[in-house]
Amino acid sequence: MSATTRRSLLAGAAGLTGAALATSIVTAQRATAADTGAGWLNVTDTAYGALGDDKADDAPAIQKAIDAAGQGGTVYLPPGRYRLASPLRLKLGVTLRGDWNPHFPVRTNMTASYLRPGIGNFTGEALIVVDPAPARGTYADSAYGGGPRLYGLALDGRGQTAATGTAIDGVRITPGVKDVGMDKVTIWRFSGHGLNAQNAAAFQLNQVHAVDNDGHGFTWGDAAGTGGGLVDADLFQCYSQGNQGHGYDILNPNAVTFVDCRSEWNARHGYHITGINYSMVMIGCNTDRNGRDGFHLATSAGGRFLQLLGCLAKRDGKETATSLIPYSGFTVTGESAEGVVLTGCSTSTGRDDDNTGAHSPAYGITTSALNSAGNVSVVGGEYVGTTAPFQDLGAVVVRHSGVISGTHGAAGIEWDKHDVHMISGAAGTPRDLEFWSRGKNRRWTLRTTDATESGTGDGSDFALVRHSDDGTVLDTPLKVGRASGRISLTTPGMTVDASASPGVHLVQSRPSGQGYAVTAADPASRAFQSQVTGDSVNRFAMEINGTQTYGPGGGTGRDTTWGRLGTAQIGSPDADIVVGLAGKGIKVKEGTNAKMGTVTLNGTTPVTVPTTAVTASSRIFLTIQSPAGTPSGVAYVASRTPGTSFTVKGMPADTSTVAWLIMEPA
């Protein structure tokens, strides 16, 4: 109230009765409200005639003020109960302004200040309709003269339908509208959607509340079927609660940012995002006790860049107990999930506020029906479900360090205490963890290779890759085949610096399995060698053909050889064979075609010893094993047939048992 108005009012107050004085004060206050801003039009001024008494149809009066205001003008609604029989329609850059909107309308019941549809006599699709500004034909002028704003409004649908029986939206943004601002607007209990925006763009919404509506709280679709949706939009601290549809229903988001928005106790999903996700960021957004998923992201091919930072899904999936569908805090599904990143997000389980109902959700994160070229990157956060923290049906979740998960069972939450860092990529592509020198290039790579997977446990082998100073690949020193688990080393050599014994211990658990197998490049290759620290010459070496050489070490060469000397021959070409322990010696197997055995003499009659081991140059040694008959102590080789047998004779009446041994000259 200006000073001039106040003085005029006080000057005449003495001659007024109490009722007249009160009427004068209210009139002065309304006039003052109209004068508080240049270009403000007060709908209760006599020029427009709105009453705000919840009886008269105030729609014509308010519409008259809207039509009279130009771009930048403000149509002001003082506190009152404005009943409307038809929608208020805005298309130019007019601000429709009140002074009050409740955050939780059910607690205040909007008893004294609101706009609402008439009971049984409303005709129209929404209480407030925003139409496109006159088109100028170019994109730059596509909202020429437009830019409507809604501020400080309380809209109460009271569950009313139109006279035709159709549902009524709180606010309807028609296709083609661009540049809409809403600040501190509450939309309560409409039979349709709270805010219904079809194929429109350029939104700025701040503290807009959609509560207890029969449709979605907020919906951005494409009634024209032209692939539109939500484009160029910023939502700050908006709130959707208790709606029978989704809290937020969003199609084809492009250049969209949600900050500190909430979606609670809606019958369906908290945030329902479908179509091609071109680019969308959600920061610090929350859900609580929605009937289905907290965040439901059903993406289509062709989109990217959906990032959620610090978002919390709390107690969602309330419907799981009755529908038997296992809902999640976060669900990512559709044809593609390229660029979906959850950073520092979390889920929590719980029941209703009065501690009744079942705990939910079933899963912290669910993915399904996604192609392998995309991935859902999870960085940090805490994920809990009543069934499991993760249901990765799409096999695309990439968990990074710092992700905590648990399962809420009958005894409480059982936490998975191990840390996981996942590197995921499409089948047939390498998946790398690279190590660089700062300011230079890569030096090493841990890689899952692009080896083809056939579905039988093969492909995607593991490899350690070595790089040169310029980052190019030098070699792959180590590979592990996924099908066999076999380790392959391709290196100039390997050093094991063991501080415990044994330095290398191979345990072969496979029956009849091999311990070590060496494949050489040529016959001159060496299979094994050993030495003592300080030796310049190996003390022991085994060549690839099995020949072993021995030496004293130091700088002295090896002087003793043991190995294959020929067909079925083993021995040393340069050393004596010494049995150096008393009680030990050489044992020779006897039997058919042996080189050692016994024969019984028959006096001077030759006794044949059959053996293929005898040769023309064989040295045959005889000795009396057991005397018998008339022992003479004499026995000799009488004849031989190489490769067949030899004969032995004794003295008359000598039947002693004679031991024989065949040896060959070297």
What pLDDT is stored for residue 184 in this prediction? 97
Mean pLDDT of 96-121: 91
- Residue 17, pLDDT > 50, answer no
Residues near 213 by beta carbon (within 8 Å), at least 6 away in sequence: 157, 170, 187, 188, 189, 190, 191, 192, 193, 194, 243, 244, 245
Query: How distant, in Å, are the alpha carbons of 33, 42, 519 from that of 38?
Result: 11, 12, 94
Q: What is the mean pLDDT of the chain?
A: 87
Task: Please name every residue paired with 196 in a beta bridge, in sequence order, or none if there are none.
Answer: 172, 219
pTM above 0.85, yes or no: no
Q: Express as a percent the part of the chain with pLDDT over 90.
A: 60
Nearest 10 degrees: Cα torsion 94, 99, 105, 109: -120
Q: Give CA–CA dist 523/94, Å, rounded.
A: 94
Provide the 3-class DSSP secondary structure of residue 106: helix
Q: Residue 198 carries which side chain, given as an amino acid letter? A: Q
- Residue 235, pLDDT > 90, answer yes
Q: Which helix (H) or strand (E) holds 340?
A: strand 340-343
Provide the 3-class DSSP secondary structure of residue 320: helix
- Residue 334 phi/psi, 5-degree rounding, is 120, -160
What pLDDT is stored for residue 370 in this prediction? 66
Both tokens of 366, joined, read: 């669910």
What pLDDT is stored for residue 419 in this prediction? 67
Q: Give CA–CA dist 386/363, Å, rounded.
A: 6
Q: Residue 433 carries which side chain, given as an amino acid letter? A: L
C-beta separation of 629 from 655 below 8 A: yes
- Residue 340, pLDDT > 90, answer no
Q: Is it true that the peptide bond before 148 is cis, omega within 30 degrees of 0? A: no
What pLDDT is stored for residue 493 in this prediction? 73
Lowest mean pLDDT among 340-354, 360-374, 448-462: 360-374
The string of DSSP letters for 223-280 reads TT-SS--EEEEEEES-EEES-SS-SEEEES-EEEEEES-EEES-SS-SEEEEE---EE
Q: Give CA–CA dist 372/395, Å, rounded.
A: 8
- Residue 68 phi/psi, 5-degree rounding, is -80, -20
Q: Give CA–CA dist 123/602, Å, rounded.
A: 138
C-beta separation of 174 from 198 below 8 A: yes
* Bridge pairing between strands 306-309 and 403-409: unpaired
Per residue in 604-651, pLDDT (tens digit) is: 999 999 999 999 999 999 999 999 999 998 999 999 999 999 999 999
The Cβ-side half-sphere exposure at 463, using a 13 Å CA radius, reads 21
Residues in the chain: 666
Residues near 603 by beta carbon (within 8 Å), at least 6 away in sequence: 629, 650, 651, 652, 653, 654, 655
- Residue 7 phi/psi, 5-degree rounding, is -65, -40
Lowest mean pLDDT among 412-416, 446-450, 596-600, 643-647: 412-416
Lowest mean pLDDT among 156-160, 247-251, 413-417, 441-445: 413-417
Both tokens of 80, joined, read: 């009152």
What pLDDT is stored for residue 568 in this prediction? 87
Top pLDDT among 403 and 148 is at 148
Q: Give CA–CA dist 222/574, Å, rounded.
A: 95
CB atoms within 10 A of CB 275: 22
The Cβ-side half-sphere exposure at 610, using a 13 Å CA radius, reads 2
- Residue 437, pLDDT > 80, answer yes
Q: Give CA–CA dist 569/563, Å, rounded.
A: 8
C-beta separation of 364 from 348 below 8 A: no
Owner of token pair 């607007």: 185
What pLDDT is stored for residue 117 in this prediction? 96
The Cβ-side half-sphere exposure at 87, using a 13 Å CA radius, reads 21
